[in-house]
């Protein structure tokens, strides 16, 4: 099995994760651009900018963190794949410390992805308020 075909979990391999990272980045860029375009005409005074600006900034920041989280997940998958490819006699199996680090990184990644979902809900609420 090549590294790119390494199955992370049922139905998702490393190649698919890389594709998700790329598509996510493109999709978020389009959504952010569309949101800014839609809100541009709705801004009438400085108060509107003060309300909308931080939300857009949070969206961009969270999008970047989400992409970083997916890249971390790919890195974790590569490390697991390399560890699985080594025989028991070889150095390179994950130490207890490395396993703990991977689990911590997975938890951080999960929290970052959940933050993106929360922010998307906030944006939808903002769109409804603006309309």
State the pLDDT at residue 93. 58
Spatial neighbors of 100 by CB under 8 A, at least 6 apart, are none
Taking the chain (131 residues) in runs of 10, the rounded mean pLDDT of each run is: 64 78 82 82 81 81 77 76 61 67 78 75 76 64
How much is the pTM?
0.48
State the pLDDT at residue 8. 66
**Do residues 117 and 65 lie in contact, with contact meaning Cβ atoms separated by under 8 Å?**
no
State the pLDDT at residue 6. 67
**Residue tagged 């970083």 (tokens):** 68
**Do residues 92 and 17 lie in contact, with contact meaning Cβ atoms separated by under 8 Å?**
no
N-terminal to C-terminal alpha carbon distance within the chain? 52
State the pLDDT at residue 98. 75
């Amino acid at each position: 099995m090549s590294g790119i075909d390494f199955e992370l979990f049922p139905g998702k391999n490393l190649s698919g994760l890389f594709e998700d990272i790329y598509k996510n980045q493109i999709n978020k860029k389009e959504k952010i651009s569309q949101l800014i375009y839609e809100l541009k005409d709705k801004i009438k005074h400085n108060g509107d900018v003060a309300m909308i600006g931080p939300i857009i900034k949070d969206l961009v920041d969270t999008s970047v963190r989400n992409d970083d989280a997916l890249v971390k997940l790919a890195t974790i998958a590569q490390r697991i794949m390399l560890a699985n490819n080594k025989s028991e006699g070889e150095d390179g199996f994950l130490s207890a410390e490395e396993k703990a680090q991977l689990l911590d990184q997975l938890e951080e990644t999960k929290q970052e992805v959940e933050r993106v979902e929360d922010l998307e809900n906030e944006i939808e609420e903002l769109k409804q308020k603006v309309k």
